[in-house]
């Protein structure tokens, strides 16, 4: 995700970059559906479309392409799996380029200019979502579909939110993202649970660091899988950073 803070307005604009590290038994894959979800009634928070609205999206996110939770079967799909063969963060591509990875996913590379990833339409002619705007110390709520992974017999792997330095010229490496984790969210924090566990709406809220300077930042939504992290630990001799990820 990318955000910009401007000196006068002290605003933060996010460009979402989604990375999903998963080795799953089922074919359903989650992804960040909304980067700036706002509840109709904050005292009774619900992630359902009827109880809130989205004010900021991931890069080139088609906002009316399919019903909620169905973009894992889009063309290209919105979820992105890093390589299972070499998941070491020194080599893993942090943001999908639509080409690399176990499942490449959609193009989430940085726009030139940044606004190019949020204006107009995607390659299939679909309107894409706007950037997220916030401020240092402000709260963001991110929504995602459960995709069958919030049921009781599934291990509750956290969603990790990582951040870049201010005004990066390019997307950070995966190693750089893991070195600046700002939040860990409960993946199974879902509401409006019906019989279809694939489409349960889930999400989490967190506050941005109050020390952020005006400018652009990239933020990453990452759902971690223990198998891949175990592989990272075995392949790496320095475990402090990975330990923070798994804590």
- Cβ–Cβ under 8 Å, residues 127 and 63: yes
Q: CA end-to-end span of the chain, whole Å?
A: 23
Q: What is the pLDDT of residues 15-27, one digit of tens each?
A: 444 433 322 333 4
**107, β-bridge pairs:** 97
The pLDDT value recorded for residue 155 is 85
- Answer yes or no: is pLDDT of 13 > 70: no
> Do 128 and 136 form a contact (C-beta atoms < 8 A)?
no
pLDDT in tens, 47-57: 999 999 999 99
Q: Which residue has the higher pLDDT, 157 or 194?
A: 194
Residue 72 clears pLDDT 60, i.e. is over it: yes
| 193-232 confidence digits (pLDDT tens) | 999 999 999 999 999 999 998 888 888 888 864 323 333 3
Residue 1 has pLDDT above 60, yes or no: no
Three-class secondary structure of residue 197 per DSSP: helix
């Amino acid at each position: 995700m990318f955000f910009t803070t401007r000196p006068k307005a002290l605003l933060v604009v996010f460009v979402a970059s989604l990375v999903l590290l998963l080795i799953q038994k089922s074919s359903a894959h989650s992804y960040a559906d909304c980067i700036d979800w706002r509840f109709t009634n904050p005292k009774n928070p619900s992630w359902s479309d009827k109880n809130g609205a989205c004010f900021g999206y991931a890069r080139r996110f088609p906002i009316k392409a399919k019903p909620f939770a169905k973009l894992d079967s889009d063309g290209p799909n919105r979820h992105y799996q890093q390589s299972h063969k070499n998941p070491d963060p020194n080599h893993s591509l942090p943001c999908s380029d639509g080409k690399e990875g176990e499942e490449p996913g959609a193009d989430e590379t940085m726009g030139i200019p940044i606004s190019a990833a949020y204006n107009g339409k995607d390659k299939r002619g679909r309107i894409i979502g706007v950037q997220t705007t916030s401020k240092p110390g402000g709260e963001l709520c991110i929504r995602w579909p459960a995709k069958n992974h919030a049921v009781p017999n599934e291990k509750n792997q956290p969603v990790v939110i990582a951040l870049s330095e201010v005004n990066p010229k390019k997307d950070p490496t995966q190693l750089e993202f893991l070195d600046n984790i700002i939040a860990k969210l409960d993946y199974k924090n879902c509401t409006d649970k019906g019989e279809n566990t694939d489409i349960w709406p889930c999400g989490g809220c967190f506050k941005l660091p109050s020390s952020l300077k005006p400018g652009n930042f990239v933020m990453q939504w990452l759902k971690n899988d223990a198998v891949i992290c175990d592989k990272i630990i075995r392949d790496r001799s320095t475990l402090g950073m990975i330990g923070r990820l798994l804590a």
